[in-house]
Structure 1
Amino acid sequence: MKKSKESRGISIKLVEHYGTGAVFMLFPLCFVAAQLMHPNMLHMSLISNGREWIAHFRGQSLLHAAHALEFLCAPLLIIMSLHYKRVLRGSAPRLGFIGVAMSFTGALMLLANKSVLCLTISAFETLPDDALMGLAPGLDVMLRREGWMALLWLLPLLPLGFTVIGVALFKTRLVPRRQSILLIIGSLMLANPEIELVNFIASVLLALGLIPYAVRLLRTGPPVDVTDSTEHGK
């Protein structure tokens, strides 16, 4: 019975460890792909009203697919955030807690943002032109985040939280410093007001910082813990 419990415990640790490694590999690849699917990436102006928003998304099936992919990235970000909580618990508990609390909250806001402003819009896409244009005043208030949609102003906590995590990793050298620097820069760039070219560059930087860490996790098996590793980044 004891061996059976130990075996189950080892199996859970294996699934958790390699599953986390897969998440760190999957997120940057999905995020880069989502940015590449955005049309008019070089367009730098911001959408200011419902009619402009309709012109932006009307007939753009790839854009809706990109938003759905970003929606699916949110659970991956939560898993990554919780992993960093464990990693930083022993060496930078305060910074780790702050960064994880911010990024976790921001990831929830990303789920809400993509649900309300993206998945809902894909449903509006099925309406005829005259009915869709009649929704422009409603889209205006959505863009302004009226009512309880004001909670979506908390979305910047996501990149800022991962910036704090990057600073903690940089200070503790739990990963090579070039990886933590890429995480910091990429996260800070994502705090921009939805400029697609900036988001794409940020996604590439994050991929360069996160994929080597994913490879490291996938190459090492439990019970190896990053916090117990004697390897320090340079």
Structure 2
Amino acid sequence: MVIARAFISIATLALCVSLVACSGGSEPPSGAEPTTTSSATPAPDPTSGAGPSENEGATDPDQPIAKVERAGQTDAPTVHADPADTTGSVSYDDGVSVSIDEIAFAKETSQGPGSFPDREYARLTITIDNGSSEAIDLGTSVLTLLDAGGATAVRVYAAEAEAVDFAGTLEAGETASAAYAFAIPAGARDEVTLVVDFDGDHTSAVFRGELD
């Protein structure tokens, strides 16, 4: 009799625990959809995205490379110049001019990781003459060389190339020169485009022609 009562008590207790677990557990019922909290990130509105900036997507054939986006500048360049031959000079109305002063050819000789022995390159010495009345910040200058098919030539930084980028401020009435090296084989030098983007106020200086 005592054993029977104990068995009934244990069965009753197990049933209560089971009922509590079913009614008060934190797990959602099987098959329930997950709830969405208020912190979920809303899907982006395709009509509210910002459009391309004025310096993005160069569509002017005389400006084949989009201008660099410089900090604090929102306006498009206001000083323009026509492209020139690789033997000529790009001249702006405010007195600034850009030219390719020297072109030299060589092969890389550096050895070790990251080097490309015997790779042919062209070293271009670029000069900017600031004949305007304003100083020019050359610290964000970017030079790009395109081959006849529009492909971008790789910059060469091997020690023997002696590349020196534009930097600092070019005061009014002063001249600055820098040297840039590009990996371009001899058979691809007949028709190239050099784009010199030296500041945000001027359109890029563009040179087209042969490297010789």
Normalised TM-score (structure 1): 0.24
Give the structure with the higher percent strand: 2
Higher normalized contact order (CA 8 Å, seq sep 6+, divided by chain length): 1
Give the structure with the higher percent helix: 1
